Amino acid sequence: MRPLRVILPALFAVAAWFASDILAGLRPSDPAIAEILGLVAPDTMSVARDAPLPWGVLYGTAAGVAVFGLAGFFTAVAGVRRSLAGFAALWMGVVLTGVLAAGVPIAVDAVGALVSGDDVTASAAAVASAAYWGVLWGWVPALLGVLVARPIEAEVYVDPYGLARTEALDDLFVPDPAAEEPRTLRGVFSLVTLVIAAVGLAGLVFVTPIAEDAWADAVGADVSEPSEPAETTEPAEPEETDAPASTAPAAPSESAPATAPAE
């Protein structure tokens, strides 16, 4: 097993993890496009997008290391080559990668809350979203892992009539047993990638609560920030006059002559 056969699928898994999160963070004005993005791009790590520096960057780095290590570990353990079974195994490994990367920090937080007697506030929504990401995007690193894997050679067997025959195995539908891979190299790659995954998961366990608190504080500061009050204009008071205006009806004018009736 060559190192690139483990490294390339793991790198593509990390790229798919970040690409889905970036697309999920877009805010298109068209509701139809926003709904489509919600279906094809699950939110994998919104904390890394929205948490203030440096916690958002640290969270994203730890998540990338964890995804790389987990995807590389499952690729090394599978040890598959060009076969449909190998493709399915790698795809399932990517799904498990997403579940563990999102679920381990939540599980540790829930256990810590139970031990300390606090309320458990963890939610499995992030785990479900990560598993959904693995189903939607996992075929990309799985296909790459199959393409860079070793091809299946021809198999020689003896038919019931005792004639030796050679048959070329189908590269897509016949699984190739992983036992032919050097077990020493597979063991070394599995151990190295497992250590990388453990380091990434430990970083997520440490950074996640701090990043979430920083995110909540930043959102609360934005909400509680007072806005400038609008200037109000007081109504103008009526001017006071010395003599009140008379409302009595005017008297008839004395200068008007009376008209005598005609004789």
Residue-range domain boundaries for the chain: 4-171+181-222
Distance CA 24, CA 20 (A): 6
The three state secondary structure string of 115-162 is HHCCCCCCCCHHHHHHHHHHHHHCHHHHHHHHHCCCCCCCEEEECCCC
Q: What is the pLDDT of residues 67-125, one digit of tens each?
A: 999 999 999 888 766 778 888 999 999 999 999 999 998 898 888 888 887 777 767 88
Task: Evaluate if residue 63 carries a pLDDT over 60.
Answer: yes
**CB neighbours of residue 215 within 10 Å:** 20
Closest to 105 (Cα-Cα) out of 136, 63, 74: 63
The answer to whether 165 and 159 have CB atoms below 8 angstroms apart is yes
Q: How many percent of the chain have pLDDT more than 70? A: 68
pLDDT recorded at residue 240: 55
The one-letter amino acid code at 232 reads T
The one-letter amino acid code at 210 reads I
Distance CA 241, CA 132 (A): 80
Min mean pLDDT across 94-103, 127-136, 225-234 is at: 225-234
The one-letter amino acid code at 43 reads D
Band (196; pLDDT cuts 50, 70, 90): very high
The answer to whether 49 and 70 have CB atoms below 8 angstroms apart is no
Look at residue 261 and give its three-state secondary structure: coil
The answer to whether 103 and 127 have CB atoms below 8 angstroms apart is yes
Task: Evaluate if residue 166 carries a pLDDT over 50.
Answer: no
Closest to 26 (Cα-Cα) out of 40, 13, 15, 14: 40
The answer to whether 21 and 45 have CB atoms below 8 angstroms apart is yes
> Is the alpha carbon torsion for 90, 40, 125, 112 positive or negative?
positive
